[in-house]
Structure 1
Amino acid sequence: MIKLLAWRFWGGHVAVVLAVIAAGGLGLWQLHAWREHRAEAARDLTDARPVALASVMGGDSAFPGKSIGQPVRLSGSWLSSGTVYVKGREHGGRSGYWVVSPLLVDGTRSAMPVVRGWSTRPQAPSVSGAAAVTGWLQPGDGDGLVDEDRHDDVVPELAIPDLVNRVDTDLYSGYVIARDEPAAARTTLAAVGPQSTPGVSWSTGLRNLFYAVEWWVFGGFAVAVWVRWLRDELNPPVPEELREEAVAER
């Protein structure tokens, strides 16, 4: 033990201690980043302040997964055709229909499907003209349910690709659940709340977790190398020639 305190070893001791502290600190930093990424992915935006739709996504952009449930503001004109009724939607313990109408967004060539409300039957007052909508941004359904009758306005799910064939313009890659239905239909449609909040994938932030483990392994490796070097210095191996001479003398 006293030999380990020899001055010639102190430089190495200090270097290894600093390396272990640095590796441990960097590992903790990456672990914190991993937790932050997962917390960011799981945050519930449904009560956040509404933002302009254009600041979140465009008509031709992919759906922004981090913005699920984000309240957005948009304005435009209701299309005269394209309203559908999504069946099998629960409200107050009863099964009914979502009423979904496309809104051609101002300044774009794309329409946003807007869930206007819930109805017990596949019918609702029509809407037309200019409108301003505030609601929750949601991703389209993707369960692959088959529409058994493509000639009516009832659909099994709110899948954006299936709605494209029902309108004469492009559609956004998601939809908006309106907070308020136009005045003409407030007495016939029930309000619908946000349906989806972000889920956290097992791979979210995984690279940061790997980096954390990598730094800790590096710290352990530095200690192992230093211990091995000290052992060889304090107990140097006997050369083969000296071993043979010692055996011969015996």
Structure 2
Amino acid sequence: MLQTALRPRNLALLALAVVAAVVFVLLGRWQWGVAGDDARAEALRQGQQRPVVALTDYLQPHAPFPNNGSLQRVRATGTYDTAHQVLVADRRLDGRAGLWVVTPLVVDGTGARLAVLRGFVTSPEQATAPLVRRTTVVGALAPSESPAEGTGYPSGQIGSVDIGALINVWGGEAYNAFVFGISEQPSATPASITKVPPPKPEVGHRDWRNVGYAFQWWAFAAFALYFWWRSVQEDRRDELGRGRAHDGPAPDPITQKDLHV
């Protein structure tokens, strides 16, 4: 069987089967990712629909971000730490390039800092300090962003809302999340800073459909390899058949007996 499998024709078929299998596996992984995106979108929709809760009841400083916490609306009262305000570079809003204004809020009751995305500006000069320092913020929770790839940002600017990196600058206790600021009471954000709306999940297909598509592609990958193996088996049977035909038919027992008479 091995000799048959190593024949040039079967090796060529194997190469085609492997290429097809790899393509099908990648398509399956893509569909699996789409299913995950749909599941995350559904979690975002659920977060938007849940009622506002007190931050101190929902999340503790340094605790892991909740699995279903994205876009959960929370309320927190505290004092803005204007000395540690940062600008997040390379952001866009309504087609305009600019920066996010992120100011830590020292939350009453815990003393931990919560990163509040107060809004969007097109130039650093617009990122003025809060009108009042003490306020109650209602915002939509979001997990920490990944560390920025680029470096060399101007002083006071960063590449992402990376809570781990911000904690190193802030010191002390902090929440492993940031919020898209929705409202403040009393208002602390001037008109020069435009509110950034929380992200809206896109409506997609049910995630189980994409999971089914993923398994379908993986089944195709397995079938491509199985088809090659069946082809090798057929070649081997043909070879054995030709070998028996070459040896000729076995002598007729009756004829042999007659020859000895």
Whole-Å Cα distance in 1 between the matches of residues 200 and 143 of structure 2? Answer: 8
Counterpart in 1 of 2:43?
Answer: 42
> Residue 81 of structure 1: SS of its match in structure 2?
helix
What SS does structure 1 have at the residue aligned with 2:146? coil
Matched with 1:179 is 182
From 64, 67, 76, give the equivalent of 1:65.
67
Q: TM (normalized to structure 1)?
A: 0.58
Judging changes above 3 Å, is the alpha-carbon distance between structure 1 residues 63 and 196 closer, same or farther for their aligned structure 2 residues?
A: farther
Q: Give me the whole-angstrom Cα distance separating, in 1, the residues matched to 2:193 and 2:82.
A: 19
Matched, 1:165 2:168: yes
Choose the corresponding residue for 1:142, options 146, 149, 155.
Answer: 146
Q: Which amino acid aligns with 1:42?
A: A
SS in 2 for 1:193: coil
| 1:210-229 → structure 2 map (5 Å cutoff) | none
**Residue of structure 1 in register with 2:129 after alignment:** 126
- Does the 8 A contact of 1:69 with 1:197 survive in 2? no
Assess, with a 3 A threshold, how the Cα gap between structure 1 residues 122 and 73 changes in structure 2: closer, same or farther. same
Instruction: Assess, with a 3 A threshold, how the Cα gap between structure 1 residues 162 and 48 changes in structure 2: closer, same or farther.
Output: same
Q: Say which of 83, 86, 89 aligns to 2:85.
A: 83
- 1:196 & 1:160 partners in 2: Cα distance? 22
2:56 match: secondary structure: helix
Query: How many angstroms apart in 2 are the aligned matches of 1:40 and 1:159?
Result: 22
Greater helix share, structure number: 2
CA distance in 2, matches of 1:187, 1:51: 27
Contact 1:140/1:160 (<8 A) preserved: yes
Shift of 1:61: 0.7
Partner of 1:116: 118
SS in 2 for 1:95: strand
Could you report, residue by residue, the CA deviation over 1:40-66 in whole angstroms, capped at 9, with x for unpaired residues? 963512243211112221012111121
Identical columns (%): 28
Separation (CA, whole Å) in 1 of partners of 2:156 and 2:150: 14
2:195 paired residue number:
191
Contact 2:41 2:201 in 1 (8 A): no
Give the Cα–Cα distance (whole angstroms) in 2 for the partners of residues 98 and 68 of structure 1.
19
Kept after mapping to 1: 8 A contact 2:61/2:175? yes
Q: Please state whether the residue corresponding to 2:183 is helix, strand or coil.
A: coil
**Does the C-alpha gap of structure 1 residues 148 and 40 become closer, same or farther in structure 2, counting only changes over 3 Å?**
closer
For residue 155 of structure 1, what is the aligned residue in structure 2?
158
Name the SS of the counterpart of 1:42 in structure 2: helix
Deviation of 1:144 (Å): 4.1
Match of 1:219 in 2: none
Say whether the 8 Å CA contact 2:44–2:71 is kept in structure 1: no
User: Is contact 1:160-1:173 (8 Å) kept?
Assistant: yes
How many residues are aligned here?
Answer: 165
Tell me the TM-score normalised to structure 2 length.
Answer: 0.56
Per the alignment, residue 9 of structure 2 pairs with none
TM-superposed deviation, 1:132: 0.5
**CA 1:100 to 1:39, structure 2 compared with 1: closer, same or farther past 3 Å?**
closer
| 1:21-50 CA-partner distances (Å, limit 9, x unpaired) | xxxxxxxxxxxxxxxxx6996351224321
Gaps of 5+ in 1: 1-37, 207-250
Paired with 2:187 and 2:156, the residues of 1 have a C-alpha distance of 23
